């Protein structure tokens, strides 16, 4: 079974393809940049990882766009698994804030004596 890309961005013959990979640390999103060309001998379309000078600005632009899309995909993939972690962090901060307020009241009461 062929894995489908998460996103594909094109500018003419230049293409950025964003993939989803999974590790024990979670999902990550590598990107491949390719140039599509037609093989003159066979007439088949092929892809290459080398770029002509005139393609480099397109590569740069697509790389920046792929970075932003990959970043959005990472943030999206972190939302679900981290809800419990975020809630625990918020609960801890709330409790720490209450404890700090209680400590301050205790100090004020001691000073007033």
- Average pLDDT across each block of 10 residues of the chain; the chain has 113 residues. List them in order: 90 97 91 98 98 96 96 84 60 71 72 67
Let me know if residue 96 belongs to a domain: no
> What range does the domain containing 41 cover?
7-80
Let me know if residue 105 belongs to a domain: no
> What pLDDT score was predicted for residue 106?
72
pTM of the model: 0.66
Residues paired with residue 8 on neighbouring β-strands, in sequence order: 17
> What pLDDT score was predicted for residue 89?
66
> What pLDDT score was predicted for residue 77?
85
Count of domains for the chain:
1
Query: Tokens 């700090």 map to which residue?
Result: 100
Let me know if residue 11 belongs to a domain: yes
Going by the DSSP 8-state scheme, the letter that residue 47 receives in this structure is: E
Let me know if residue 45 belongs to a domain: yes
Q: Which residues contact 81 (CB under 8 A, 6 or more apart)?
A: 26
Alpha carbon 54 to its chain's center: 28
Residue 43: left if φ>0, alpha if ψ -120 to 50, beta else—which one?
A: left
Let me know if residue 110 belongs to a domain: no
Let me know if residue 31 belongs to a domain: yes
Let me know if residue 93 belongs to a domain: no
């Amino acid at each position: 079974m062929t894995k489908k890309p998460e996103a594909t961005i094109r500018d003419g013959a230049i293409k950025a393809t964003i993939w989803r990979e999974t590790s024990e640390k979670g999902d990550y999103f590598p990107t491949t940049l390719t140039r599509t060309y037609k093989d003159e001998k066979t007439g088949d379309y092929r892809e290459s990882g080398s770029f002509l000078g005139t393609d480099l600005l397109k590569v740069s632009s697509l790389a920046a766009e792929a970075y932003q899309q990959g970043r959005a995909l990472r943030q999206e993939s972190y939302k679900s698994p981290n809800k419990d972690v975020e809630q625990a962090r918020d609960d801890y901060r709330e409790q720490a804030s209450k404890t700090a307020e209680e400590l301050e009241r205790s100090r004020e009461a001691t000073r007033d004596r």
